[in-house]
């Protein structure tokens, strides 16, 4: 098996596992930093790491202004508005379980929009997989849902965040096919920072307690999530249909629940275990060649 074929097989499960750790990072940093301030520091450090990698590799920067614009917009959508919206919504009172459920609508939204914007045809089998996968993800999240009220503005921002990463995925597929992945990611983090700076100035005080748990979470957020997971996401988008890539996200809640069980002793209910099975089945059906 060639190295490219091996990476193509390894990338989807590796992406799911690394992406799921984002929920663990969010839980660890909550007592130690304001969320948007943490995200801004993460973007700046990730940009610094990528600049060093690009310099050593002498990767080519885009010459056309159009390519810079496209990557900046992708970064604003995939990182700035999406992560910023998620963190702001949860901070403003939207239960994390409901936010996760809203984020679980992304494969459905991607399937609806991929036809008119990318010309991708979603087969009946893939629609069935999308439906089963959403049911599984919902069952995993269901025990986490609280009984408290849902702030309307936080709910709206959460929905906009989900639409942002959906549009960002489609935009990346349409415009980012020719750029070096490292350069593309670096420009994206500039776009993400441009969006996040005013949000930090308007809503936060810039508080970060430089404790050991925060430093560990920050290191993983930069190297594992911002470099590893985003690199895999861009690779998967370039290689495959965006609907298939988005459907992988149905596996994130089950994997995150298993991680929380192992790290924090959070219990797994029978409903959640059944949901994990449905999520895996849905992804298998939707991703089958």
| Residue pLDDT, tens place only, 250-284 | 888 888 888 888 887 877 788 888 988 888 898 88
- Reported confidence tier of residue 174, pLDDT bands at 50, 70, 90: confident
- Residue 24's Cβ-count burial label (10 Å; 0-12, 13-18, 19+) is middle
Which residues, listed in sequence order, are joined to residue 33 by a DSSP beta bridge?
208
CB atoms within 10 A of CB 121: 10
Cα(153)–Cα(116) distance, integer angstroms: 29
pLDDT per position as a tens digit, 201-259: 998 999 999 999 999 999 999 999 999 999 999 999 888 778 778 888 888 888 888 88
Cα–Cα–Cα angle for 109, 233, 177, rounded to 5 degrees: 90
| pLDDT at 175 (0 to 100) | 87
Residue that the structure tokens 């920050």 belong to: 218
Cα–Cα–Cα angle for 260, 262, 265, rounded to 5 degrees: 70
Q: Which residue has the higher pLDDT, 1 or 83?
A: 83
Cα(78)–Cα(189) distance, integer angstroms: 10
Give the mean pLDDT of 110-116: 83
Full-model pTM: 0.86
Which residues, listed in sequence order, are joined to residue 208 by a DSSP beta bridge?
33
């Amino acid at each position: 098996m060639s190295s490219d074929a091996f990476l193509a097989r390894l990338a989807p499960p590796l992406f799911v596992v690394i992406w799921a750790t984002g929920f663990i990072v969010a839980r660890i940093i909550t007592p130690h930093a304001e969320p948007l301030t943490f995200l801004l520091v993460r973007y700046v450090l990730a940009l610094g790491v990528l600049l060093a990698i690009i310099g050593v590799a002498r990767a080519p920067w885009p010459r056309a202004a159009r390519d810079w614009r496209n990557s900046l917009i992708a970064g604003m959508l995939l990182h700035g508005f999406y992560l910023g919206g998620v963190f702001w919504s949860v901070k403003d009172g939207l239960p994390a379980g409901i936010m996760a459920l809203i984020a679980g609508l992304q494969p459905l939204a991607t399937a609806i929009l991929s036809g008119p914007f990318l010309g991708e045809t979603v087969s009946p089998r893939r629609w069935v997989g999308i439906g089963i996968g959403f049911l599984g993800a919902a069952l995993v999240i269901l025990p986490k849902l609280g009984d408290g009220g849902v702030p309307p503005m936080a709910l709206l921002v959460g929905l906009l965040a989900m639409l942002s990463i959906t549009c960002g995925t489609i935009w990346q597929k349409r415009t980012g096919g020719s750029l070096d992945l490292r350069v593309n990611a670096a420009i994206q983090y500039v776009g993400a920072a441009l969006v996040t700076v005013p949000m930090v100035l308007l809503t936060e005080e810039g508080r970060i307690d430089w404790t050991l748990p925060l430093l560990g979470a920050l290191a993983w957020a930069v190297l594992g999530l911002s470099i590893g997971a985003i690199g895999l996401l861009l690779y998967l988008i370039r290689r495959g249909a965006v609907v298939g890539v988005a459907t992988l996200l149905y596996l994130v809640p089950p994997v995150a629940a298993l991680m929380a069980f192992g790290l924090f002793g959070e219990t797994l209910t029978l409903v959640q275990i059944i949901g994990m099975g449905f999520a895996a089945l849905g992804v298998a059906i939707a991703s089958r060649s």
